[in-house]
Amino acid sequence: AQKITQTQPGMFVQEKEAVTLDCTYDTSDPSYGLFWYKQPSSGEMIFLIYQGSYDQQNATEGRYSLNFQKARKSANLVISASQLGDSAMYFCAMRERGKDYKLSFGAGTTVTVRA
């Protein structure tokens, strides 16, 4: 069974607009963490934002915010004021305490920002 599901293979967004990337997850572990990474064409994995399962508040990091809906097992990433440099592949990932802290990745969403 898929641990992390990203249903949007690709998205286009206009520069300066906001975009929401969907991510749902599946776990029975009460302690887990959710991550979003950006992967530009160079291949490096750039950490964007983290949300812990016990965190009460939604995580925010600059233009990135995570819409964490625990009951729905959803952790959508919102990128505000999109920039051309945001064009990349975005991965949602989960780390479960009971799984030796391994990261499980979703299939990814390719974001293309248009001028």
User: Contact positions toward another protein, by CB under 8 A?
Assistant: 33, 35, 37, 42-45, 47, 50, 52, 89, 91, 95, 100-108, 110
62: exposed, middle or buried (Cβ count in 10 Å: 0-12, 13-18, 19+): exposed
Based on CB atoms, which residue is closest to another protein, 28 or 41?
Answer: 41
Distances from the Cα of 50 to the Cαs of 8, 26, 55, in angstroms?
Answer: 20, 17, 10
Residue 61 — φ and ψ, nearest 5°? Answer: -145, 95
Query: How far does CA 11 lie from the centroid of its chain?
Result: 14
For residue 16, the minimal CB distance to another protein (Å) is 27
Based on CB atoms, which residue is closest to another protein, 31 or 83?
Answer: 31
Extract the tokens encoding 51. Answer: 């949300």
Based on CB atoms, which residue is closest to another protein, 12 or 47?
Answer: 47
For residue 96, the minimal CB distance to another protein (Å) is 13
Based on CB atoms, which residue is closest to another protein, 33 or 76?
Answer: 33
For residue 98, the minimal CB distance to another protein (Å) is 14
Indicate the DSSP class of residue 17: S
